[in-house]
Amino acid sequence: MTTTTEFVLRSILIGAGATLTMDLWAAVLRRFGVSSLNFALLGRWIGHIPKGRFIHPSIARTAAVRGELLIGWSAHYSIGVTFAALLVATFGLEWARAPTLLPALLIGGVTVLAPLLVLQPALGAGVASSKTANPVFNSVKSLVTHTVFGFGLFLAARAVASLVPAAS
């Protein structure tokens, strides 16, 4: 296996594992009545990008696009893999072969900037959910969720480290 193959394989597995961890967290929150992003709405937003629409007053009131749920879930996991690749690129394959918690939590914390500064405004919720009924709650929920993602990056990296051999 080449180092490039190792990098790609570790990024995919770590990203998918961390995203699954975040999804399990969201499922726990839903059991307590706390909603999370409907991935069909993420898919709807992505589906409108080729039409030149990047910002919506309310994505829920924007016309649906064909396959938006599949698009949204695919994007969700692709983004998780991309963030894992950022982690491995930043801290190196040596980190991925012997993961430690702090780098994973750092990247997890940084990833919260994407929903707060890009996705929420684009969907019509405003920067850091400022146009919602509970902006502080929603922003804290995003921060906690992305911290859970960071913890998931660490857990997945530990699992992958025991399964994937280093490039030779």
pLDDT, tens digit, 9 for 90 and up, residues 59-102? 999 999 999 999 999 999 999 999 999 999 999 999 999 999 99
Dihedrals phi, psi of 62, to nearest 5 degrees? -80, 150
Quick: pLDDT tens for 121-141.
Answer: 999 999 999 999 999 999 999
pLDDT value at position 26? 96
Average pLDDT across the chain, whole number: 96
pLDDT value at position 114? 95
pLDDT value at position 165? 85
Every domain of the chain and the residues it spans: 3-36+77-163
8 Å CB contact between 21 and 156? yes
8 Å CB contact between 36 and 26? yes
pLDDT value at position 63? 95
How many Å apart are CA 78 and CA 134, to the nearest integer?
A: 29
Whole-prediction pTM value?
0.94
